[in-house]
Amino acid sequence: MNKLPQVTLAFWVMKIAATTLGETGGDLLAQTMHVGYLASSVILVGLFLVSLLAQLRAKELHPALYWTVILSTSTAGTTMSDFMNRTLGLGYANGALLLITALVTVFVIWKRSGRPFNVQTVNGLGGELLYWTAILISNTLGTSLGDFLADDSGLGFSGSALLISGLMALIVAAMKLPGISRTLLFWAAFVLTRPLGASAGDFISKPTSKGGLGYGTIGASAVLMAVLIGFIAYPYVRQFRTSGAARTGLRTDRRQWVMLVCRVPADRAHHDRALRRELRAAGAIALSQDVWMLPGVPTVEPLLAHLRQHPAAADGGLIVTVAAGRDDGSTALLEQLYQGARTDEWAAFRADCEAYLAEFDHPELAGRPPETALDTYEQSLFRLRLWYQHLRDRDDALPTPDAMRAEVQLKRCADRLDRYTQQASGTASPTSTGAPTPTPVGMATS
């Protein structure tokens, strides 16, 4: 049971809109309406608790409910931060330091609880409570960081927004690198989007004399609310448009899958074989010789575009449609088949990592390792990293715990190569040994 949305570009657009609205909405209640920081904090934390209780009681994802909780954490975070930093007099820097400590504490508790530290596999009451506690603290932290950068650092509203945007760009770039936890990158981006939203909210609502656009808290809140409602309404509109599928027994509240039917004529058998190889390499599961399934997520769209141009797809050789399990048993079986295929691929990857590590224990490499072998080991590690990234990109469709074990194994390989490099550069010479250059580690295919 997954009650959280897919982390896509739309997710981050809505997150920034919600956090910006939280900044302007919190200021609207506390300052424009003169309710005060303490009373506003009590009201908005109460709204957060009510919406969170509804989210915890829900049995499936409801976008409107989920984003109501996110919005309530943003508004509550704004007033809580202002109460700590202004009413209690902690100041932005001390308040941010206190909140960073609290957030790290939540992460440590989460990690030691034995629950998967993964925002795509948050299950159970305990996991959800840790998830929403981290979100509330990170949004409160974001307000303190945003105010500190905008007011105390001298960067101003636009300068702080540019700085945080640059940091966000670095996070996006880091997602392409192997060996970096996607979960930590998610939380880093989640925390940074809060000060980005806070700075953007200040920039939109503050008067021009303070470097803002001068729309005020009411105007800015109205515009941002319209944007957020539009994004929230889209899934419901899409579901309404596809209601015909529901009338045929296809439930749209279950995960959708892309079903590919191969009907290549016998006289083009070589194209048929090439198409099946590509499907297998892409991680598709074969329900029969001619029927293949992939998760219906945005990450498979480039593959589908490529397959439509395949020679085997000409003249109706490939039919692409959308399907879902008609009952719970069929849905669970599809998930099980896909996860089983991914587990086998990760097992093959870890086996190649073990083979790579075993090369360093070769008796002929004891003592002074040959420099001539270094390039070979670096090329093998590069191939392992490419393979890992390929599997990890696919794993994002339906995350599995095997990715974390593979990440640890890949790091062991990199660390072992680092030690080998240091040893070779410090003691070996090209003519110091007659040891042969080892054969590159082979890459298993899935």
pLDDT tens track for 118-162: 777 777 888 888 888 888 888 788 777 777 776 777 776 667 778
What integer pLDDT is reported at residue 396 of this predicted model? 54
Q: In angstroms, rounded to a whole number, what is the distance separating the alpha carbons of residues 284 and 195?
A: 40
Same domain as 53, residue 146: yes
Quote the tokens at residue 256: 């959708």
**Which range marks the domain in which residue 297 is found?**
257-326
Average pLDDT value for residue range 89-97: 80
Q: Which amino acid, one-letter code, is at 73?
A: T
Q: In angstroms, rounded to a whole number, what is the distance separating the alpha carbons of residues 103 and 188?
A: 11
* Higher pLDDT among residues 433 and 313, named by residue: 313
Say if residues 205 and 159 touch (Cβ distance below 8 Å).
Answer: no
Helix (H) or strand (E) run with residue 135 in it: helix 124-147
Residue 394 lies in a domain: yes
Same domain as 129, residue 261: no
Last residue of a domain, one of 272, 293, 326: 326
Q: What is the DSSP letter of 207?
A: -
Show Cβ contacts of residue 238 under 8 Å, excluding neighbours closer than 6 positions: none
Q: Which amino acid, one-letter code, is at 369?
A: P
pLDDT band at 353; cut points 50, 70, 90:
very high
> Residue 412 phi/psi, 5° resolution?
-60, -40
* Higher pLDDT among residues 193 and 424, named by residue: 193
DSSP-based three-state secondary structure for 241: helix
pLDDT tens track for 354-370: 998 888 876 555 444 55
Same domain as 120, residue 17: yes
Report the C-alpha dihedral over residues 14, 188, 153, 25, rounded to 10 degrees.
30
Residue 177 lies in a domain: yes
Average of per-residue pLDDT values in the chain = 76
Same domain as 162, residue 285: no
Domains in the chain: how many in total?
3
Same domain as 142, residue 55: yes
Q: In angstroms, rounded to a whole number, what is the distance separating the alpha carbons of residues 203 and 69?
A: 24
Residue 439 lies in a domain: no
Report the percentage of the chain scoring pLDDT > 70. 78
Report the candidate in 24, 269, 55 with the shortest Cα–Cα distance to residue 157. Answer: 24
Last residue of a domain, one of 297, 326, 355: 326
Same domain as 265, residue 227: no
Question: Domain with 264 in it: what CATH number?
Answer: 3.30.70
